[in-house]
Each structure stands twice: as C-alpha cells, then as structure tokens.
Amino acid sequence: MITTDELQINIGPQHPSTHGVFRMLITVDGETVVNLEPVFGYLHRNHEQLAEVNTYLQNMPYTDRLDYFNSMANNHAYALAVEKLAGIEVPERAEYIRVLMVELTRILNHAGAVGFMINDMGAWQTPLAFGIREREKILDLFELVSGARMMCNYFRFGGVVRDLPDDFIPRLKKLMVAMPAYIDELERLLRENEILLARSEGIGILPREVAVSYGVTGPVLRGSGIAYDIRKAEPYSIYDRFDFDVPVGSVGDVYDRFLVRIEEMRQSRRILEQIIEQLPDASGGHINPKARQNVRPPVGDAYARIESPKGELGFYLVSDGSTKPYRYKVRAPSFINLTPLGDMCRGYKVADIVVILGSIDIVMGEVDR
C-alpha cells in the first residue's frame, strides 16, 4: 500500500503571479488544493500612521500610491472625505471632471485586470499587450491634465488642480470612437477561445452568501450575482445624473467576473458620453475659490466611500481641529476582496489559484498599505 501525504507549499512572497509581495500558504494533495491561507503584510509601509503626521493636503499624493492603477479614484475618495469633514462645496464643472477621470480610470483598470488575468493563465504576454494598449492612450490623457501618467495627484479639496486643456475633449472623443471595437475585441479574446473558456468556466466559484458574509465588493461581488454598486446604492458626487446599468454575473466564477468587467467598461463609456454632452463651460471654474487647501476642519469625523474599480474604497477621517488628521483609515477593496481567497481556491487545482487571484484583481499597494 502506497501512502500519500499532503504537501505544504509557499507561493510567494517572491512569485511571478502574486501581483506583488503576497504569500499563499497552500496545502496540496497532488495537484488539488486542500487548503489555502493568504498571508499579507509584506508591503506594509505605515501609510495610515504617516498620514497622521502630514497635513490633509500632503496626504493627497500618498493616496496615489495606494492602488497605483487607479490614482484618480483614490484621490476622489480622499477628497470626498475631507470635503465632507470640512464642508467644502465643489463647483459643477469640477464634479464632471472628477467623474470623467474616475470612469476613465475604471476602463483602464478593467482592461489591465483582464489582460493580467489571461497572463496568469499562461498566455505569454500577448493578451496583456491587448489589455494595456488602450490603457496607454488613457494614461496619455492623464498626463495631459495632471502631468503624470500614474501618480496623478490631480484632485484638490473643492475641485481639481487645473482645468482641462483645450485639446483634451477632442482627444477623448477620438478615444471614445475607437473604444467599442477595442472592448469587443477584448471580449472575443475570452469568449471565442476554447482554452480560456476551459480555464475560467466553473473555476473559483464564490457563492452569493459567502461573498456577502466576507464583505466583498466591486466586480467580484457583482460577478456572484448581487447588483450592489455604490454609484447606484448611495450616489455620491453627481452619479445620480447619469444613466448606466450595473452588470451582474450568475455563477460567480472567474468567467463571470471577466464578463462583468467587460460590461462595466461599456457602461463607463456610456457615462463618459453623457459627461461630454453635459460638461458645463469653464466659467464655473474648476475649483472652489473659497476652499483653503491648508484645510483646518472642525472637530468631528467623516467617512466617504466611492465605487472604485476594485470595489468599495472608503476613507475614514477623524479631525481634532488641527491641520493634520487625528486618525486616517482606509477601507481598501483589494484587502477585503482577498480574504475569501481560501474559500474560492479550495478543491481546485494549483494552476487555478493564480487565475482566481488574477480574477479578484488586487494591487498589493492597497492591500498592505
């Protein structure tokens, strides 16, 4: 009688597919995963503590570094929190510019997430090149408005740091014309490829109840079939003015998460179209002239949350009346979405782990802070 034993393997912290320094302690029976324990904290850099010794404005560039794919969305959530705390009004045009930037961010994040997920399946970078092709053009637009491609630091309390340049809207319109074909192409990449289907259908199923009990948000939750989107559930900024749908999956597997992301890119494009139509002229100003940037909010606390491309991104701030936050807490979607990884991977093969991890779409900068 041959006896077999279970094998414990550390995937990470240095591993090509863990999207940063992340460790998964897996127990395998042959190729089948018996248990998986996510271990994080390798990228901890004292983000929240550092924020407490900086002024409110000094923290704005730090938020860029949380989820470095979506610096605009991070800026938005932080600006909303400080504005709530200090009671700052935002002019109409600035609101539109902000939503414009965040929706562009959503498109580039989802394109990248899909590309990286297929890369994790073993495709040798070509699908990734498809994914980041349009992302580059969006980053060009970001560079145009903020001077930086990734660490934009574009938002300010009461608006945005500078108005849109003259050639921004024409370039955006040009991008929007090419976008539907691009999104269709990205979708065909999965829908019409037998191997991709075999690798994603029925893999990493996250049932609705489990998803809710873990507090998962974003495309991962919607892939499990729950139409929860903060833009609809608790409209912030000016999202109540736009017409868009919330796509949901049915099974909650990797395939559903992929399709939800593709559909969200289309919906973001719809929002962008409405923004271009409704964008007020520059007479309203891009920033509230009465808003002081060296803000000194009254004593109190505030929590502001947005639907970041990865899920619910929230900033909780406590003010003691000084120029620095007394407490600064980030509710990072990647971190919360990562916790059910063990439940999602159990029973599948070793090769599925990296695909499931890729389908959650995490950025370690946000998980560990």
Among 51, 82, 90, 121, binds another protein (CB under 8 A): 121
Under rule CB under 8 A, which residues in 29-48 are in contact with another protein?
31-32, 34-35
- Name the residue nearer to another protein (CB basis): 120 or 366: 120
Q: How far is CA 340 from CA 36, 258, 356, in A?
A: 10, 18, 11
Give the phi and the psi of residue 9 in degrees, each rounded to 5. -125, 140
Handedness of CA 182, 145, 283, 235 (dihedral sign): positive
Q: Does 74 bind another protein (CB under 8 A)?
A: no
Q: Does 4 bind another protein (CB under 8 A)?
A: no
Shortest reach from residue 197's CB to another protein, in Å: 9
User: Could you identify the residue written with the tokens 């090509």?
Assistant: 16
Site string for another protein, 230-269 (x = CB under 8 A): --------------------xx-x----------------
- Interacting stretch for another protein, rule CB under 8 A, among 77-85, 293-301, 326-334, 351-359? 351-359
Q: Can you tell me the distance from the alpha carbon of 79 to that of 155, in angstroms, rounded to the nearest whole number?
A: 7
- Name the residue nearer to another protein (CB basis): 81 or 357: 357
Alpha helices (runs of H) in 147-285, residue ranges in sequence order: 168-191, 194-200, 208-214, 219-223, 230-233, 254-278
Alpha helices (runs of H) in the chain, residue ranges in sequence order: 47-52, 56-64, 71-86, 92-120, 126-146, 168-191, 194-200, 208-214, 219-223, 230-233, 254-278, 333-338, 341-345, 350-360, 364-368
Q: Does 366 bind another protein (CB under 8 A)?
A: no
Applying CB under 8 A, the site for another protein has a residue count of 44
**Maximum alpha-carbon separation in the chain:** 83
Q: Does 104 bind another protein (CB under 8 A)?
A: no
Which two structure tokens, joined as six digits, stand for 225?
Answer: 């079939």
Shortest reach from residue 199's CB to another protein, in Å: 6
Q: Does 198 bind another protein (CB under 8 A)?
A: yes
CA dihedral of residues 336, 341, 342, 347 (deg, nearest 10): 150
Under rule CB under 8 A, which residues in 122-141 are in contact with another protein?
122-127, 129
Give the residues lining the site for another protein (CB under 8 A).
Answer: 7-9, 15-17, 27-28, 31-32, 34-35, 118-127, 129, 193, 195-196, 198-199, 201-203, 205, 250-251, 253, 346-354
